[in-house]
């Protein structure tokens, strides 16, 4: 069973394994150190305490195993973005789709948003499938600067009630 919960500092040792291997090939491109994992969790906890709240971050758990992270960010009063990353040995079981659907529900209820956007690297079609299964529609591309130059990321959107 997959569940979402807030991260705590005790979760830091699990993060470097999540941010490694295939999971970072089309995202950050960089492995995460333990110090950076602590910083990341601290930053997430600080942002969770802000009013109005602009960021929600959850750990994705399979049973008791922390297998990934998913975040929701408010970009305007009514529009937000989601992003996610799963440890590469847990891919292919529908876990990311399950997590994305949960976060869509939070976005349109608790967070009071009415539009969500998300993007993924063009060479990472699995992420596009996750978004499509969570109800998103591809709306075009958005150029992003990466270590290898400018890349046209695939851009998706979902309107509340769509």
Ligand X SMILES: CC(C)(COP(=O)(O)OP(=O)(O)OC[C@H]1O[C@@H](n2cnc3c(N)ncnc32)[C@H](O)[C@@H]1OP(=O)(O)O)[C@@H](O)C(=O)NCCC(=O)NCCS
- Residues of this chain that interact with ligand X (CB under 6 A) are 23, 26-27, 83-86, 91-97, 118, 120, 124-127, 129-130
Minimum CB separation of residue 85 from ligand X in Å reads 4
Query: 41 vs 60, which CB is nearer to ligand X?
Result: 60
Query: 79 vs 91, which CB is nearer to ligand X?
Result: 91
What is the bridge-based pairing of β-strands 149-159 and 2-5?
unpaired
Burial of 70 (0-12, 13-18, 19+ CB in 10 A): buried
| Count of H-run helices and E-run strands, the chain | 4, 7
Is residue 15 within 8 A of residue 30, CB to CB? The reply is: no
Closest C-alpha among 45, 64, 67 to residue 56? 45
The CA distance from 95 to 90, in Å, is 8
Minimum CB separation of residue 154 from ligand X in Å reads 10
Minimum CB separation of residue 101 from ligand X in Å reads 10
DSSP H/E element including 162: none
Alpha-carbon torsion (18, 30, 137, 47), positive or negative: positive
How many residues does the structure list for the chain? 162
Query: 114 vs 124, which CB is nearer to ligand X?
Result: 124
Q: Give the SS3 label for residue 136.
A: coil
Query: 137 vs 161, which CB is nearer to ligand X?
Result: 137
Query: 13 vs 125, which CB is nearer to ligand X?
Result: 125
Minimum CB separation of residue 51 from ligand X in Å reads 26
Minimum CB separation of residue 56 from ligand X in Å reads 15
């Amino acid at each position: 069973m997959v569940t979402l919960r807030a991260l705590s500092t005790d979760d830091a040792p699990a993060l470097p394994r999540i941010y490694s291997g295939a999971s970072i090939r089309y995202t950050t491109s960089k492995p995460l150190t333990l110090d950076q994992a602590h910083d990341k969790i601290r930053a997430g906890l600080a942002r969770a305490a802000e009013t109005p709240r602009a960021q929600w971050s959850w750990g994705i758990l399979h049973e008791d195993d922390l297998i990934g992270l998913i975040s929701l960010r408010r970009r305007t009063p009514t529009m937000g973005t989601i992003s996610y990353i799963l440890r590469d040995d847990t891919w292919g079981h529908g876990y990311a789709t399950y997590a994305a659907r949960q976060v869509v529900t939070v976005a349109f209820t608790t967070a009071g948003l009415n539009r969500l956007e998300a993007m993924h690297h063009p060479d990472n079609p699995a992420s596009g499938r996750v978004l499509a299964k969570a109800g998103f529609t591809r709306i075009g591309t958005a150029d992003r600067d990466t270590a290898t130059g400018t890349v046209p990321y695939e851009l998706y959107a979902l309107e509340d009630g769509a």
